């Protein structure tokens, strides 16, 4: 499978704990995006990288959230001191950044449940 891969698929944790998710994009894609989706809603943008540079962060990304893409390949999203409102599906997408618009391709997400 050469699509976007996300791990773990499910994460259940107690409020106040830290969690980290991983995304492996499609291999030749230089852009990587994180989105959050709650039930009944479309995905909401969190942040994106071009290679290892984080180019934009949403206001949804509070200071408890941090994302990295240290070598321009895989990315991690960490949430510190989780709150019940953090329960959601966290989706990663990647695209080939060229002068033309290219579609973003999504992984199957990590579902986070905060107890």
How many alpha carbons lie under 13 Å from residue 20 in its C-beta half-sphere? 8
Stretch near another protein under the rule CB under 8 A, chosen from 13-21, 71-79, 80-88, 89-97: 89-97
Q: Which is nearer to another protein, 50 or 66 (CB)?
A: 50
**Closest distance between another protein and the C-beta of residue 104, in Å?**
6
Smallest separation (angstroms) from another protein to the CB of 7: 13
Q: What is residue 30's three-state secondary structure?
A: coil
Q: Whole-angstrom Cα distance, residue 65 to residue 46?
A: 10
- Which of 11, 33, 82, 114 binds another protein (CB under 8 A)? It is 33
What CA–CA distance (Å, rounded) separates 41 from 74?
26
Q: Considering the rule CB under 8 A, would residue 25 count as an interface residue with another protein?
A: no
Using rule CB under 8 A, residue 73 touches another protein? no
CB of 81 to another protein, least distance (A): 25
How many chain residues bind another protein (CB under 8 A)? Answer: 33
**DSSP string covering 47-61, please?**
EEEETTEEEEE-TTS
Tokens (6 digits) for 17: 């704990």
């Amino acid at each position: 499978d050469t699509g976007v891969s996300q791990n773990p698929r499910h994460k259940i944790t107690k409020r106040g704990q830290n969690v980290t998710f991983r995304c492996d994009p499609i291999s030749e894609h230089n852009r990587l995006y994180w989105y959050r989706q709650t039930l009944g809603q479309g995905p909401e943008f969190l942040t994106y990288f071009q290679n290892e540079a984080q180019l934009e962060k949403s206001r949804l990304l509070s200071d408890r959230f941090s994302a990295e893409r240290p070598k321009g390949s895989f990315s991690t999203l960490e949430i510190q001191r989780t709150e019940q409102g953090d329960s959601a599906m966290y989706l990663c997408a990647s695209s080939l950044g060229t002068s033309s618009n290219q579609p973003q391709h999504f992984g199957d997400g990590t579902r986070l449940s905060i107890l």
